[in-house]
Amino acid sequence: MATIAYQINKEKLEKAAFILKTVAHPTRLAIVDLLSQNEKLSVNDICDVLACEQSLLSHHLINMKLKGILRSEKDGLNVFYSLKERDVMKLIECIEHCDCNY
Amino acid sequence: MATIAYQINKEKLEKAAFILKTVAHPTRLAIVDLLSQNEKLSVNDICDVLACEQSLLSHHLINMKLKGILRSEKDGLNVFYSLKERDVMKLIECIEHCDCNY
DNA sequence: TTAATATATGAAAATATATTAATATATATT
DNA sequence: AATATATATTAATATATTTTCATATATTAA
């Protein structure tokens, strides 16, 4: 067997998989997309636009915040979420240009 | 409430989430990485390098093939897998440049 | 201070994904 | 033909993620 070039950084891959997993969900991806088009949005705004149940949306938002993709700031009754990592959008662009056959 | 710019293409997002989910796994990401560095590799090669159990690896490979990310060709006893979508690498690069805080 | 609104929390239930193990298949070698 | 090797398949099990629901908390308004 030929020697295989092997420069895999295990830690990096695990980190990458972790982030990918976080955004690999239609609703969460939609949130990222929405927030890439709008500087910041309240939970309610997003709820309306995505027609997603409030509590479920909250779970998603908090999950993404926990993983460093979103940030939030409270303003009165509302909590506004925004993209912490605008780079995440690049992922979606990549994906859009990559057409797999299925 | 202000009107929210909303140009989300639901189908596109679902497709993107689908692909993301497929690569959002340390082993599968390692496979993509390995194959981005080596034109093609047999199941055994990958097995050795990643120290992944044969059957499990097979599951992963077939899964990724099914989803259009890999292709395979048989040569004698071996089956060689290669990246069908070299663009998938861009995902990993994106991720590497995006440093979230966790 | 009561009521209304926005958001979060926690636990249970539903669903999906990953892993293992045993075995099958196909090809090559003796 | 028998054996060895590489890969795939299947079903069972383990584990993780998503969704739902009921309820809590915090803030504002009446």
In percent, how much of chain B has pLDDT > 90? 63
Quote the distance between the C-alpha of residue B33 and its chain's center. 8
Q: Does B84 touch chain A (CB under 8 A)?
A: yes
d(C-alpha B11, C-alpha B15), whole Å: 6
Chain C: positions less than 7 Å from a protein CB are 5-11, 17-23, 26-28
pLDDT tens figures, B34-84: 999 999 999 999 999 999 999 999 999 999 999 999 999 999 999 999 999
> What pLDDT shows up at residue B102?
43
- Which residues in chain B have Cβ-Cβ distances shorter than 8 Å to A6? 34, 37, 49
Å between B42 CA and C22 C1'? 23
Transcribe A18-70 into DSSP letters. Answer: HHHHHH-SHHHHHHHHHHHHSS-EEHHHHHHHHT--HHHHHHHHHHHHHTTSE
Q: Does A19 touch chain B (CB under 8 A)?
A: yes
pLDDT tens figures, B2-38: 466 565 677 888 888 888 899 999 999 999 999 999 9
| Pairing verdict, β B78-83 and B41-42 | antiparallel
pTM for the predicted model, two decimal places: 0.87
pLDDT tens, chain A, 102 aa long: 446 656 567 788 888 888 889 999 999 999 999 999 999 999 999 999 999 999 999 999 999 999 999 999 999 999 999 999 777 777 777 776 665 544
Tokens of residue A25, six digits: 């969900």
d(C-alpha B14, C-alpha B18), whole Å: 6
Would you call A29 and B41 a contact, using CB atoms and an 8 Å cutoff? no
d(C-alpha A81, C-alpha A74), whole Å: 9
CA angle A16, A40, A52 (to 5 degrees): 75
* Residues contacting B37, CB < 8 A, separation 6+: A5, A6, A7
**CB-closest option in A28, A49, A87 to B97:** A87
